[in-house]
Amino acid sequence: MAVGEEDETGRVRRPSSKKPVKKTAGKTSTGRAGSGTNETKRAARRVSAPRAMRYAAEQLQELLGRAPESVSALKPTEDGWQADVEVLELERIPGTTSVMASYRVTLDEEGELLAYERTRRYTRAQIDPRG
């Protein structure tokens, strides 16, 4: 399956962010034996913040069947990314009374969804009391 094509499950293959590492006699491609730590290796594989935001929104839409309105927060974690995604759950008239939901999405370092949970429901016009 080529990049950008759908497989039998309907998922689109994204370009891999993994780069091959050459090893010779216990040395990495940098020429330093044993210099690569797990932190360095993890950072090299981690998708960028813009990609993590896009992947969080796309994969949540695939699961919920609703298009996300925005990604309101994104932060790196030890194992990948955590994003808060805002979704229109129930459209009402007037639009200010529509029901919104905030979902916390957990991605691995390559941008694949590991978990999600709804953390909050509110009307579109509601102001967050936390600021």
Strands, E assignment, 1-131: 68-77, 80-90, 99-108, 113-123
**Structure tokens belonging to residue 83:** 């994003």
Q: State yes or no: pLDDT of 62 exceeds 70.
A: yes
Within a 10 A sphere around the Cβ of 78, how many other Cβ atoms?
Answer: 7
pLDDT tens-digit map of 88-128: 999 999 989 999 999 999 999 999 999 999 999 999 988 87
Does this model's pTM top 0.75? My answer is: no
Q: Are 105 and 116 in contact (CB under 8 A)?
A: yes
Residue pLDDT, tens place only, 10-32: 555 455 444 444 433 443 333 33
Integer Cα distance of 37 and 25 in angstroms: 18
Which stretches within 29-120 are classed as H helix? 38-45, 49-64
For residues 81 and 107, the answer to whether their CB atoms sit within 8 Å is yes
Residues 54 and 62: their CA atoms lie apart, in Å, by 12
